[in-house]
Amino acid sequence: MLFGALEAGGTKMICAIGDENGNILHKTSFPTEDTAVTMPKIINYFKDKSIEALGIGCFGPIDVNPKSSTYGFITTTPKIAWRNYDIVGDFKKTLNVPIGFDTDVNGSVLGEVTFGCAKDLDCVVYITIGTGVGVGVFLNGQLLHGMLHPEAGHMLMRVREDDIYSGKCPYHGSCLEGLAAGPAIEERWGSKAIELKDNHNVWELEAYYIGQAITNFIYIYSPQKIILGGGVMHQMQLFPLIRDKVKQLNSNYINTKELLNLDTYIVPSSLNDDQGIMGAIELGKKAYYEDI
Ligand code: ADP
Ligand code: ZN
């Protein structure tokens, strides 16, 4: 059985065909331009591929409440052409298959719990640190939505005393994304993150913020594993720095077996940057069996 998978991102649209075991049989991508330019290319890609369902992990904010009149819409995105856009509706009309729809980061956490390093766990947090910061939450065996869906990349932060950077988020200034996403690193330090790889101060400060966010997640969701992905997390030296920061901030307040072994608790994504698209395959598969 074949499923279509779309990882809809702000810069590119990754399209793939996969089977029920998460194997990616074909994959391509298109740049994210206006809907009128990009949507026909995506539809055309899936049209003759005999897919049984389509799963979409989408940049947001989006409406994932099936009872809402704007279910399946991309809502208040700063990308004008995609604002208030009925993406699920347009695919339904043209492809006529069940469609699973969730945030890109919920897609990634679903990929990891279904096919990756978080198999058999029922409470997992996935954080991507890239152009923005996004957080997907799998809680008690389900993707967390609530009122909208978590927007925890915008959690408010305690700024380190010596950090004079005001933060890049247009809404909050010094939220996690405003302080720690790739563009914030570049603006604060004056070079692209990848070019700063030997500057220890950069990663020490980065770990200060990511470790703070993770400590909050530990106390709020009590996750069994925390997975970090996205371009910035390719800097593997961050992992030990982040684990040290979490250990220091927790100050032995809680002492679980997971926290005693942070090397297997705070981990890189395990699916070679395919966690999002593999999660989208699973979203499609779920939609097929639930016929939505
Ligand atoms: P997106 O978030 O747009 O899907 P990425 O996850 O690749 O894409 O994130 C892009 C951001 O990550 C950019 O700000 C870029 O500077 C940064 N980045 C990409 N690759 C690396 C790397 N190897 N090391 C450090 N930063 C990186
Ligand atoms: Zn913000």
pLDDT tens-digit series, residues 28-38: 999 999 999 99
- For residue 116, pLDDT beyond 80: yes
Q: Is the CB of 11 under 6 A from ligand 1?
A: yes
Nearest Cα neighbor of 226 from 203, 198, 256 is 256
> Same domain, yes or no, for 169 and 140?
yes
Residue 158 lies in a domain: yes
Q: What is the pLDDT of residue 292?
A: 75
> Same domain, yes or no, for 39 and 55?
yes
> Same domain, yes or no, for 280 and 178?
no
Q: What CATH number is given to the structural domain containing 6?
A: 3.30.420.40
> Same domain, yes or no, for 127 and 258?
yes
Q: Is the CB of 40 under 6 A from ligand 1?
A: no
Q: What is the pLDDT of residue 177?
A: 98
57-67 average pLDDT score: 96
Please, which contacts does 15-22 make with residues 24 or more away whose CB atoms are closer than 8 Å? 15/42, 15/45, 15/46, 16/277, 16/280, 16/281, 17/49, 17/51, 18/277, 18/278, 18/281, 18/284, 19/281, 20/285, 21/115, 22/111, 22/114, 22/115, 22/278, 22/281, 22/282
**Strand (E) or helix (H) holding 162:** none
Report CA(176)–ligand 2 centroid distance (Å): 7
Residue 114 lies in a domain: no
> In this predicted structure, which of 76-85, 107-116, 260-269 has the lowest mean pLDDT?
76-85
Give the Å distances, CA to CA, from 102 to 72, 107, 148: 9, 6, 11
Q: Is the CB of 108 under 6 A from ligand 1?
A: no
Report CA(86)–ligand 2 centroid distance (Å): 25
Residue 28 lies in a domain: yes
> Same domain, yes or no, for 257 and 282?
no
Taking the C-alpha atoms of residue 8 and residue 26, their distance in angstroms, rounded to an integer, is 16
46-67 average pLDDT score: 97
Residue 113 lies in a domain: no
Taking the C-alpha atoms of residue 78 and residue 60, their distance in angstroms, rounded to an integer, is 9
**pLDDT, tens digit, 9 for 90 and up, residues 124-170:** 999 999 999 999 999 999 999 999 999 999 999 999 999 999 999 99
Q: How many domains does the chain have?
A: 2
> Same domain, yes or no, for 223 and 136?
yes
> Same domain, yes or no, for 46 and 164?
no
Taking the C-alpha atoms of residue 32 and residue 11, their distance in angstroms, rounded to an integer, is 5
> Same domain, yes or no, for 81 and 163?
no
> Same domain, yes or no, for 68 and 146?
no
Question: Which amino acid is residue 283, in one-letter code?
Answer: L
Q: Is the CB of 60 under 6 A from ligand 1?
A: no
**pLDDT, tens digit, 9 for 90 and up, residues 220-279:** 999 999 999 999 999 999 999 999 999 999 999 999 999 999 999 999 999 999 999 999
Do residues 166 and 187 make contact, with C-beta atoms less than 8 angstroms apart?
A: no
Q: Is the CB of 167 under 6 A from ligand 1?
A: no
87-105 average pLDDT score: 98
Atom of ligand 1 nearest to the CA of 232: 26
Q: What is the pLDDT of residue 119?
A: 97
User: How do 12-19 and 266-268 pair as beta strands?
Assistant: unpaired
> Which structural domain range is residue 242 located in?
119-268
> Same domain, yes or no, for 139 and 192?
yes
Report CA(6)–ligand 2 centroid distance (Å): 26
Report CA(43)–ligand 2 centroid distance (Å): 33
Taking the C-alpha atoms of residue 236 and residue 231, their distance in angstroms, rounded to an integer, is 11
> Same domain, yes or no, for 278 and 251?
no
Side-chain half-sphere of 125: how many Cα atoms within 13 Å?
23
Alpha-carbon dihedral 144, 39, 41, 45, rounded to 10 degrees:
40
94-114 average pLDDT score: 98
Residue 230 lies in a domain: yes
Taking the C-alpha atoms of residue 265 and residue 250, their distance in angstroms, rounded to an integer, is 14
- For residue 79, pLDDT beyond 90: no
Q: Which residues of 26-57 are buried (b: 16+ CB within 10 A; e: fewer)?
A: eeebbebeebeebbeebeebbeebebbbbbbb
What percent of the chain is modeled with pLDDT above 90?
A: 98
Residue 112 lies in a domain: no
> Same domain, yes or no, for 148 and 247?
yes
